[in-house]
């Protein structure tokens, strides 16, 4: 029942915020912040309660399930379940969701009630994506995220918001329809093989797929998830959407919506189509490397501060794509760590950009410069997150990228070396951002107040989390490891260096022994 509550809480809070916040905007804000605080407490409680089960045995990988009939004639169920990967994403959703609500406190002044309705419904849809184990239900939540985000950009965005919202809608809707065709194709093939109508993830895992048929279905899922990730060349919607979205919209886009694409690759593409994914892996890794280098170079070429941060997402999530298709435990865990750390560090940078724009009404770095003398606290915090973005040792982003590169080196040394080039370029654009904004020649005497106590608390918590993940990443790695070990086991014929089969039911990884389901 806790899984249903994690969806219903933001869903119902959004309706309440809309109904009761129309006369008093403060009511909508307090309903939203209360709901997301409860959501975060519940998510962390579930993580703590199940941590030991995740740490010691893959047999306990699936922690909680909720299942009931929905449309039995077509084999559709309302089926929710979580494992370590889902749980980490749910905690991240609650954390960044709370940050997004607080970030909107003073920025959003018009139609506040409807704004919070859309914001909370996006978060409900994201939670549904991370928990749905029925592919039709997964598609339902996937589309549920789309319309509220369209409104968020189109109504509360900046100058070119309509163009950005339409672009976002067309790209993601087209990709979603392609995924729907692949889902229906998989459903129909399974029916032909078994005579049973079902969209159940665990039953569809046993569908026999091979050759061109498997490759075409896999590509339907891959393209949908690559658009949302986004990977080159499926990324054109992202810079405009980020640039024109309100601050909270950018935080949710970078921190959460993009992660649904990476989650889909780990949850559906690799387990359901292992042979096709293994054959496609070199090309997918190549796309990831192009994304890393292209995104970093494009970020360096921007004068718009928010657009610069947007392109860094293309670069950093290229590491996720490379790590996922490296097909080994080390790289899988690095990809998951990157999903979390990128969400926090890039979300913080978008929050900083939003604060600057709110006060000086420009994102043009050529008109800034010398801001450090006016806002030293803001400058120091911006420098911290810029250093996190370039992968400074001691922070979570470094752990993530190191694991991805180390895992990829075991599989494809050339791709690992090329991906490492992105780290060099990321240092250039991160330092360029700080120099142009805070240390450059002062272009105008901006009257910009330094960070408020509310903002200092938000940034302080995000700094603590990134430092914690950089110094002591074990809680996240241990939570993700059962999933990554199980995935690697599917590809052990080609990547067997880290897994040593003992007797067919037990595998040894590092200093832990895992029991594998037959």
What pLDDT does residue 59 have? 52
Query: Is residue 291 a contact partner of residue 235, using CB atoms and an 8 Å limit?
Result: yes
- Beta pairing class for 76-82 and 64-71: antiparallel
Task: Collect all residues with Cβ–Cβ distance below 8 Å to 49 and sequence separation of at least 6.
Answer: none
Instruction: Look up residue 413 and give its two tokens.
Output: 């040394």
The encoded tokens of residue 194 equal 């078994």
Residues 6+ apart with CB under 8 A from 301: none
The number of folded domains in the chain is 1
Model pLDDT, residue 55 = 67
Whether the bond into 230 is cis, omega within 30 of 0: yes
Burial class (CB in 10 A: 0-12, 13-18, 19+), 373: exposed
In the block, residue with structure tokens 């896999």? 218
Regions of the chain short of the pLDDT cut 70? 55-60, 492-518
Question: Cα separations (Å) of 468 from 57, 397, 462?
Answer: 25, 11, 10
Q: At what angle do helices 474-490 and 329-360 cross, to 10 degrees?
A: 130
**Using CA atoms, how far apart are residues 159 and 307, in angstroms rounded to an integer?**
14
Task: Give residue 122's domain range.
Answer: 2-515
With residue 82 as reference, give the H or E element that holds it: strand 76-82
CB-based contact 388:285 (threshold 8 Å):
no
* Rounded-to-integer distance, Cα 167 and Cα 279, Å: 32
Amino acid 376: pLDDT: 87
Is 364 in a helix, a strand, or coil? Answer: strand
Q: What is the DSSP letter of 72?
A: G
pTM exceeds 0.85, yes or no: yes
∠ at Cα 137 (90, 197), nearest 5°? 140
* Rounded (5°) CA angle 212-216-219: 135
Dihedral sign of CA atoms 9, 14, 17, 19 in order: negative
pLDDT in tens, 98-149: 999 999 888 888 899 999 999 999 999 999 999 999 999 999 999 999 999 9
11 within 8 A of 128, measured Cβ to Cβ: no
Backbone dihedral angles phi then psi of residue 415, each to the nearest 5 degrees: -65, -35
Q: Which residue, 481, 486, 320, 472, is CA-closest to 395?
A: 472
Longest dimension (CA), the chain: 73
């Amino acid at each position: 029942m806790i899984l249903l509550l994690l969806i219903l809480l933001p869903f119902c809070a959004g309706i309440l915020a809309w109904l009761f916040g129309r006369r008093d905007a403060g009511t909508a804000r307090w309903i939203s912040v209360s709901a997301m605080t409860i959501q975060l407490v519940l998510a962390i409680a579930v993580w703590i309660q199940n941590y030991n089960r995740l740490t010691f045995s893959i047999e306990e990988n699936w922690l909680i399930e909720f299942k009931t009939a929905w449309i039995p004639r077509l084999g559709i169920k309302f089926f929710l379940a979580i494992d370590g990967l889902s749980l980490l994403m749910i905690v991240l959703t609650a954390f960044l969701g709370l940050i997004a609500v607080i970030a909107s406190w003073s920025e959003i002044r018009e139609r506040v009630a409807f704004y919070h309705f859309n914001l909370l419904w996006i978060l409900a849809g994201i939670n549904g994506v991370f928990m749905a184990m029925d592919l039709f239900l997964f598609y339902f939540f996937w589309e549920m995220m789309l319309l509220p985000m369209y409104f968020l950009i189109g109504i509360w965005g900046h100058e070119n918001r309509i163009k950005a919202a339409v672009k976002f809608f067309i790209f993601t809707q087209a990709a979603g329809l392609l995924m729907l065709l692949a889902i229906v194709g998989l459903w129909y093939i399974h029916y032909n093989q078994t005579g049973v109508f079902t969209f159940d993830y665990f039953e569809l895992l046993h569908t026999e797929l091979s050759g061109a048929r498997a490759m075409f279905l896999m590509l339907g899922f891959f393209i949908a998830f690559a658009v949302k990730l986004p990977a080159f060349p499926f990324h054109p919607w992202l810079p405009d959407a980020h640039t024109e979205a309100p601050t909270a919209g950018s935080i949710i886009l970078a921190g959460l919506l993009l992660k649904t694409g990476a989650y889909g690759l780990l949850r559906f593409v690799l387990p359901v189509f292992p042979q096709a994914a293994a054959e496609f892996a070199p090309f997918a890794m190549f796309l990831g490397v192009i994304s890393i280098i292209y995104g970093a170079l494009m970020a360096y070429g921007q004068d718009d501060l928010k657009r610069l941060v947007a392109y860094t997402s293309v670069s950093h999530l290229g590491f996720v794509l490379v790590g996922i298709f490296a097909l080994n435990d080390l790289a899988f865990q690095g990809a998951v760590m990157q999903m979390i750390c990128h969400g926090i560090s890039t979300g913080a940078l978008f929050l900083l950009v939003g604060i600057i724009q709110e006060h000086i009404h420009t994102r043009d770095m050529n008109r800034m410069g010398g801001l450090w003398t006016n806002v030293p606290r803001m400058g120091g915090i911006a420098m911290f997150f810029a250093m996190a973005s370039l992968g400074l040792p001691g922070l979570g982003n470094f752990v993530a990228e190191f694991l991805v590169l180390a895992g990829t080196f075991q599989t494809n040394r050339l791709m690992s070396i090329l991906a490492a080039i992105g780290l060099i370029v990321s240092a250039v654009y991160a330092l360029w951002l700080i120099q142009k904004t805070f240390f450059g020649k002062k272009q105008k005497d901006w009257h910009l107040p330094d960070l408020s106590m509310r903002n200092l608390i938000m940034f302080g918590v995000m700094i603590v989390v990134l430092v914690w993940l950089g110094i002591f990443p074990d809680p996240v790695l241990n939570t993700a490891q059962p999933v990554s070990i199980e995935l690697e086991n599917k590809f052990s014929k080609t990547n067997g260096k880290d897994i040593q089969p003992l007797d067919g039911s037990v595998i040894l990884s590092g200093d832990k022994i895992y029991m594998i389901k037959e």
